[in-house]
Structure 1
Amino acid sequence: MPKIAVMTDSSADINTQQAEQMNLAVMRFPLMIDGQEYIEETEIKTPEFISRMEQGAVVKTSQAHLGKLIQQWKDLLEEYDEILYIPLSSGLSGSYQSALTASAAFDGRITVVDARFACYPLAWLCQWAQAQIQAGHSCEEIKNKIEEEADLWAALIPEKLEYLKRGGRISAAAAALGNLLKIVPILKVEHGGIDVLGKVRTVKKAYQVGLDAIAQVNDPSDYEWMIVEADMKEEAEDLKRQMEERIGQPVTIHAMGPIIMAHTGPRTLGYGRVKKLKF
Structure 2
Amino acid sequence: MADFVLTCCSTVDVSEEFLRAHAIPSIDFNYMLDDVWYKDDFGKSNTPRSMFAKMLAGAQATTSQVNVGDYIDFWRPLLADGNDVLHVTLSSGISGTYQSACNAASILAQEFPHQKLYIVDSLCASAGYGLLVSKLAQMRDSGMSIDQTRDWAEAHKTEVQSWFFSTDLRFFIKGGRISKTAGTVGSMLHICPLMHVAPDGSLAVKEKIRTKKRASKRVVSLMEETCHNGFDYTDEVFISHSDCLEDAQEVAKLIAQAFPKAQPAQIFNIGATIGVHTGPGTVATFWWGTPRKD
Shorter chain as denominator, the TM-score bin is 0.7 to 0.9
Superposed CA RMSD? 2.5
1:263 is matched with which residue?
A: 277
Deviation at 1:85, TM superposition (A): 0.3
Q: How does 1:174-185 map to 2 (within 5 A)?
A: 174-185=182-193
2:58 is matched with which residue?
A: 56
Check conservation: 1:121, 1:274, Cα contact below 8 A. no
1:99-153 Cα offsets, whole Å, 9 max, x none, are: 1232122235211112222222333433432333343322222111111123111
Q: Distance in 1 between matches of 2:53 and 2:79?
A: 37
Q: Percent identity?
A: 25
Partner secondary structure for residue 215 of structure 1: helix
1:93 is matched with which residue?
A: 95
Q: Distance in 1 between matches of 2:18 and 2:209?
A: 36
Pairing partner for 1:254 from 244, 248, 268: 268
1:194 is matched with which residue?
A: 203
Q: TM-score, normalised by structure 2?
A: 0.83
Q: How does 1:123-162 map to 2 (within 5 A)?
A: 123-150=130-157, 151-162=159-170
Check conservation: 2:128, 2:286, Cα contact below 8 A. no
2:286 is matched with which residue?
A: 272
- Mapped pair 1:213 → 2:222: yes
In 2 relative to 1, CA 166–174 (structure 1 residues): closer, same or farther, beyond 3 Å? Answer: same
Structure 1 window deviating more from structure 2 (228-237 vs 118-127): it is 118-127
In 2 relative to 1, CA 181–211 (structure 1 residues): closer, same or farther, beyond 3 Å? Answer: same
Structure 1 window deviating more from structure 2 (105-114 vs 131-140): it is 131-140
Structure 1 window deviating more from structure 2 (102-111 vs 259-268): it is 102-111
Partner secondary structure for residue 8 of structure 1: strand
Check conservation: 2:88, 2:133, Cα contact below 8 A. yes
In 2 relative to 1, CA 240–172 (structure 1 residues): closer, same or farther, beyond 3 Å? Answer: same
Structure 2: give runs of 5+ residues left out of the alignment: none
Deviation at 1:47, TM superposition (A): 3.7
Check conservation: 1:7, 1:24, Cα contact below 8 A. yes
Deviation at 1:44, TM superposition (A): 3.5
1:81-113 Cα offsets, whole Å, 9 max, x none, are: 211101112222121122123212223521111
Check conservation: 1:119, 1:260, Cα contact below 8 A. yes
Structure 1: give runs of 5+ residues left out of the alignment: none
Partner secondary structure for residue 225 of structure 2: coil
Q: TM-score, normalised by structure 1?
A: 0.87
Q: Distance in 2 between matches of 1:199 and 1:251?
A: 28
2:242 is matched with which residue?
A: 230
1:205-238 Cα offsets, whole Å, 9 max, x none, are: 2222222222204613264222222222222222
2:118 is matched with which residue?
A: 111
Structure 1 window deviating more from structure 2 (168-177 vs 254-263): it is 168-177
Letter in 1 for 2:4: I
Deviation at 1:15, TM superposition (A): 4.3
Q: Distance in 2 between matches of 1:39 and 1:254?
A: 18
Letter in 2 for 1:130: A
Deviation at 1:11, TM superposition (A): 1.3
Pairing partner for 1:241 from 239, 248, 253: 253
Structure 1 window deviating more from structure 2 (224-233 vs 151-160): it is 224-233
In 2 relative to 1, CA 169–34 (structure 1 residues): closer, same or farther, beyond 3 Å? Answer: farther
In 2 relative to 1, CA 264–193 (structure 1 residues): closer, same or farther, beyond 3 Å? Answer: same
Partner secondary structure for residue 224 of structure 1: coil
In 2 relative to 1, CA 269–140 (structure 1 residues): closer, same or farther, beyond 3 Å? Answer: same
1:166-214 Cα offsets, whole Å, 9 max, x none, are: 3344343433233234332111124233211111222222222222222
1:23-64 Cα offsets, whole Å, 9 max, x none, are: 211111111223432221164443432332232323222321
